[in-house]
């Protein structure tokens, strides 16, 4: 494989480091990079904060191998953890810490996975319909296309891809697989293209984009992992620590937005003169809404165009009553 630094341009790199920076002044600070990828964000954190240790989580062993080679110069200040990014407790255990000072999550598919055609993530290159971020997982996109019934396929495309023509595409997939299984990305892209009227297609966008997104999310259980990861990240961050999350589609961003908003808002009824401890907010929103990449970055790195960045600071422990309500 080519050198990781030459293959990947991290999104909003300096903004992420700057948002985490105020929480990293404590000697022995620990950061969890929950989506290590090829290690670009971790490298910048380690370079700019010499006293920090970073635990990098990734479910993709290829990514861990590339990033570990890239970050070997930092010695024991970098620790790799092969897991899904909701395993915050496991990452803390690798660092010998009870809580961390910062958590970074850069969601979605990585450049490594998109660029390696044989992984099957991209509709732009013909490849086997795999789409597994962790190649040890048992279910591929081809398996779902072969085994899911029409109703389930419609649900996946509508819910995870927000696809208007989900029912039509699902019907076509079922009809097509009666002749032969769909095993290649070009085959699926052709089926989808035939289902979407030309007048409904966005100029410059492949009509299969939403279908591929939906299958990728289903294969990797991305929203399920994220639903667990955000509460785990909040509870794994010390008071004064910070959480930075970058999302690339509305389903992810909605989960992050709602969790941060709930933590930053009192749960007491409106109008109470004194807010009880159990209803106090435990987060402070650092970003106003979701931040986007600047125009220069979006032009230089097209993959940064859809990003939505949100950040929050831990202001107090979560009141036990609010933890019970969320459970």
Tally of CA atoms within 13 A in the half-sphere of 123 that contains its CB = 19
**Helix or strand or coil: residue 312?**
strand
Is 41 assigned a ligand-binding role in the annotation? yes
Q: Are strands 53-58 and 237-247 parallel, antiparallel or unpaired?
A: unpaired
Residue 145 in tokens: 């296309």
For residues 123 and 67, is the Cβ–Cβ distance under 8 A?
no
Cβ–Cβ < 8 Å for 171, 212: no
Q: What is the Cα–Cα distance from 104 to 311, expressed in whole angstroms?
A: 9
Binding site annotation covers 90? no
Residue 317 near residue 278 (C-beta atoms within 8 A)? no
91 vs 104: CA distance, rounded Å? 13
Backbone angles phi, psi at 172, to 5 degrees: -70, -35
DSSP notation for 227-262? HHHHHHHHHTEEEEEEEEEEESSHHHHHHHHHHHHH
Please check if 40 is assigned to a binding site. yes
123 labeled part of a ligand binding site: no
Which residue's structure tokens are 């479910």? 59
Binding-site positions: 39-41, 58, 85, 106, 113
Binding-site positions for S-adenosyl-L-methionine: 39-41, 58, 85, 106, 113
């Amino acid at each position: 494989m080519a050198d990781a630094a030459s293959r990947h341009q991290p999104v909003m790199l300096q903004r992420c480091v700057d948002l985490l920076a105020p929480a990293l002044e404590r000697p022995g600070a620990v950061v969890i990079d929950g989506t290590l990828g090829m290690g670009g964000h971790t490298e910048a954190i380690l370079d700019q904060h010499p006293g920090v240790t970073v635990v990098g989580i990734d479910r993709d062993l290829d990514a861990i191998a590339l990033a570990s080679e890239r970050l070997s110069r930092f010695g024991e200040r970098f620790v790799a953890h092969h897991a899904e990014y909701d395993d915050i407790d496991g990452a803390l255990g690798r660092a010998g810490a009870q809580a961390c000072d910062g958590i970074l999550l850069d969601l979605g598919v990585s450049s490594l996975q998109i660029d390696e055609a044989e992984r099957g993530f991209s509709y732009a290159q013909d490849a086997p319909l795999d789409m597994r971020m962790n190649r040890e997982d048992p279910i591929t996109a081809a398996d779902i296309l072969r085994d899911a019934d029409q109703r389930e396929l419609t649900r996946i495309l509508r819910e995870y891809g927000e696809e208007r023509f989900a029912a039509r595409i699902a019907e076509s997939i079922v009809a097509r697989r009666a002749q032969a299984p769909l095993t290649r990305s070009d085959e699926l892209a052709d089926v989808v293209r035939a289902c979407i009227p030309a007048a409904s297609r966005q100029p410059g966008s492949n009509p299969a984009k939403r279908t591929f997104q939906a299958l990728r999310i289903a294969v990797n259980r991305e929203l399920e992992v994220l639903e667990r990861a955000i509460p785990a990240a909040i509870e794994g961050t010390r008071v004064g620590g910070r959480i930075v999350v970058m999302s690339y589609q509305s389903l992810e961003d909605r989960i992050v937005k709602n969790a941060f908003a709930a933590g930053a808002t009192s749960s007491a009824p409106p109008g109470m003169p004194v807010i009880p401890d159990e209803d106090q907010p435990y987060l402070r929103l650092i970003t106003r809404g979701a931040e986007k990449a600047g125009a220069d970055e979006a032009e230089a790195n097209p993959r940064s165009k859809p990003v939505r960045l949100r950040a929050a600071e831990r202001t107090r422990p979560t009141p036990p009553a609010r933890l019970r309500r969320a459970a």
